Structure 1
Amino acid sequence: MKSWSGSAAVCFNENGELLMVRAFGSDEWAVPSGGIEEGETPECCCIREVKEETGYDVEVIEELKIKEVTIQGIEVKTYYFRVEKNGESDGFEDPDGIIAETDWKSTDEIKVLKHAYPDDRGFLLQQF
């Protein structure tokens, strides 16, 4: 069976809002995430993906969980990390060209907005 591994970042600002991204042609939001490249640790992948998708430099604080699911016959393993941002975003340049927008979302917004990964909603709300 095919497999894919990636990392996702849970990052809050000083106002207690969660950093999220939205792809072009979608009204669904997700935390910054992406695939682990060859020779890359899950932590390094997480830091790189946040930089690419949001422009923020972050450091990993702790591993929150590992989600393992099978999607369309592919074993998917995603490492979730709590990260802390250093400074402000200098704008993002997503090499994959899929990120349309980044924004900070409040608890109330997380409860009602459309999630790209609906099963993450409860987990994300627990992080506040």
Structure 2
Amino acid sequence: MKRIDVAYTLLFDEKTNKVLMVLNRNKTWSLPGGAVEVNETLKDAAVREAKEETGYDVQVHEVIAINEAFMDGNHVHFITFKGETLKVPDVIPKEKNILKVEWVDIEEADRLMPYHPEGISQLLNRLGARYILQS
């Protein structure tokens, strides 16, 4: 069984009450994110994946959720960071695994992402845990 770490970024626009989400090729919605590469930190992966999938330059802060699953013979850890937008892209990039990038109402985000049983709205209120890369 292979272990896979996946890093996500939760971006929230307070003015519109919307969360940035992506529609994946497998027709499921998620936050921008993806697998951590060899010799890459969780934070670096979250920032890279947000840029690749949405074109947004982001900064990530605390870890606000850790989910774990056994999928397709793999042991997968999903780490979600609270993030902020640094730069909005002029154009959303075309990414082969992403069908759509969209700002979604918080209530709809709660419905589309059942793997957070308390809802995305509750993640926004979490203080989270500090992320420390030990050297």
Q: Contact (CA 8 Å) 2:65, 2:123: kept in 1 or not?
A: no
Residue of structure 1 in register with 2:123 after alignment: 127
* Gap runs ≥5 in structure 2: 125-135
Cα distance 1:121–1:90, how it changes in 2: closer, same or farther (>3 A)? farther
* Gap runs ≥5 in structure 1: none
Tell me how far apart the structure 1 counterparts of residues 115 and 101 of structure 2 sit (CA, whole Å). Answer: 20
What is the TM-score of this pair, normalised by structure 1?
0.84
Residue of structure 1 in register with 2:90 after alignment: 90
Q: Contact (CA 8 Å) 1:51, 1:92: kept in 2 or not?
A: no
Alignment of 1:1-128 (within 5 A): 1-13=1-13, 14-24=15-25, 26=27, 28-93=28-93, 97-112=96-111, 114-115=112-113, 118-120=114-116, 122-128=118-124
Percent of aligned pairs sharing the same letter:
29
Tell me how far apart the structure 1 counterparts of residues 89 and 119 of structure 2 sit (CA, whole Å). Answer: 25
CA RMSD of aligned residues (A): 1.9
What is the TM-score of this pair, normalised by structure 2?
0.80
Pairs aligned (count)? 123
Q: Contact (CA 8 Å) 1:56, 1:90: kept in 2 or not?
A: no
Q: Contact (CA 8 Å) 2:107, 2:121: kept in 1 or not?
A: no
Deviations 1:31-70 (A, max 9, x none): 1110000110000000000000001000012111222221
